[in-house]
């Protein structure tokens, strides 16, 4: 393997490497460590400008408790969940169907439609901003949870279809042929033959979409107006009180906002990485 495996080199080199690893990690994660320190700081430190020094008082529980009691963080977090979970469910299911169609069937518009999904996923959001917002307002979906997850589901369908199509294409086609010969209906083939086989891909995809949608900031700003249905990414900004900079609270809330995707990431690392690197593993 490349680079030269550590296990085979001199003990001194090996020890040096293993000692350097944690240092490298701390340097790499320094910004995160800093924000964590800020989130346990007391407000006295904030007012005297001591944002990055060692905290003079440790208020871990008080700050995180305050985030939930004095601010709307709980509502924002709930909104994030209410927006992200339906999005994942809808986009993954639709993409399964669409990916199956594009991978298995030979028809003339298969490839162009596939490219439509791919291209649509890469377009800059801004080209969609005004019409989608206007449509949401006209249909009464503006500033609602449904409005947000319907949009996200539709947009993420592009990426999901790309993903599922490539995955299904890699499955052995014989299974389907055999089923067809036996006269099994198409949708039954999909349900009973293909679906069980794509479970790992579904897991990977769900994790990825969860992260993308949970961390979205732009559409939270475009599709909401009040505080009622804002997800946590947009809500973090609003937590800066109008007249006082509550940085310790903002840090605590930001870290709380980061917890679900990180948690899911640790649980499903393998799937996450498989999902992101699908194209690289050819």
Shortest distance (Å) from residue 78 CB to another protein: 17
Q: Dihedrals φ, ψ of 129, to 5°?
A: -55, -60
Q: Which is nearer to another protein, 17 or 192 (CB)?
A: 17
Shortest distance (Å) from residue 5 CB to another protein: 7
State the SS3 of the chain. CCCCCHHHCCHHHHHHHHHHHHHHHHHHCHHHHHHHHHHCCCHHHHHCCCCCCCCCCCCHHHHHHHHHHHCCHHHHHHHHHHHHHHHHHHHHHHHHHHHHHHHHCCCCCHHHHHHHHHHHHHCCCHHHHHHHHHHHHHCCCCCCHHHHHHHHHHHHHHHHHHHHHHHHHCCCCHHHHHHHHCCCCHHHHHHHHHHHHCHHHHHHHHHHHHHHHHCCCHHHHHHCCCCCCCCHHHHHHHCCCCCCCCHHHHHHHHHHHHHHHHHHHHHCHHHHHHHHCHHHCC
Q: Which is nearer to another protein, 64 or 155 (CB)?
A: 155
> CA-CA distance, 32 to 180, in Å (whole number)?
54
Shortest distance (Å) from residue 282 CB to another protein: 5
Q: Which is nearer to another protein, 82 or 135 (CB)?
A: 135
Q: Which is nearer to another protein, 85 or 238 (CB)?
A: 238
Q: Which is nearer to another protein, 22 or 196 (CB)?
A: 22
Q: Which is nearer to another protein, 60 or 123 (CB)?
A: 123
Shortest distance (Å) from residue 93 CB to another protein: 8
Shortest distance (Å) from residue 128 CB to another protein: 5
Shortest distance (Å) from residue 63 CB to another protein: 16
Q: Which is nearer to another protein, 59 or 157 (CB)?
A: 157
Shortest distance (Å) from residue 202 CB to another protein: 15
């Amino acid at each position: 393997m490349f680079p030269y495996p550590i296990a085979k080199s001199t003990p001194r080199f090996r020890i040096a490497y293993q000692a350097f690893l944690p240092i490298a990690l701390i340097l790499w994660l320094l910004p995160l460590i800093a924000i964590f320190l800020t989130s346990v700081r007391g407000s006295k430190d904030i007012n005297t400008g001591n944002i990055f020094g060692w905290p003079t008082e440790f208020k871990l529980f008080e700050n995180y408790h305050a985030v939930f009691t004095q601010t709307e963080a709980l509502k924002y977090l709930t909104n994030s969940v209410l927006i992200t979970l339906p999005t994942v469910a809808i986009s993954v299911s639709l993409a399964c169907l669409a990916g199956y169609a594009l991978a298995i069937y030979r028809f003339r518009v298969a490839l162009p439609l596939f490219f439509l999904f791919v291209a649509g996923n890469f377009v800059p959001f801004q080209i969609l901003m005004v019409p989608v917002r206007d449509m949401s307002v006209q249909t009464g979906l503006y500033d609602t949870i449904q409005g947000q997850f319907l949009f996200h589901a539709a947009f993420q369908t592009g990426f999901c279809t790309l993903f599922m199509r490539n995955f299904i294409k890699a499955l052995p086609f014989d299974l389907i042929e055999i089923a067809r010969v036996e006269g099994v209906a198409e949708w039954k083939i999909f349900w009973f033959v293909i679906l069980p086989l794509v479970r790992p891909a579904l897991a990977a995809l769900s994790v990825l979409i969860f992260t993308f949608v949970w961390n979205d900031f732009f559409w939270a700003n475009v599709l909401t107006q009040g505080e009622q249905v804002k997800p946590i990414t947009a809500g973090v900004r609003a937590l800066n009180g109008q007249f006082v900079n509550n940085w310790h609270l903002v840090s605590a809330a930001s870290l709380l906002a980061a917890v679900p995707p990180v948690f899911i990431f640790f649980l499903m690392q393998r799937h996450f990485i498989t999902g992101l690197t699908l194209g690289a593993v050819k």
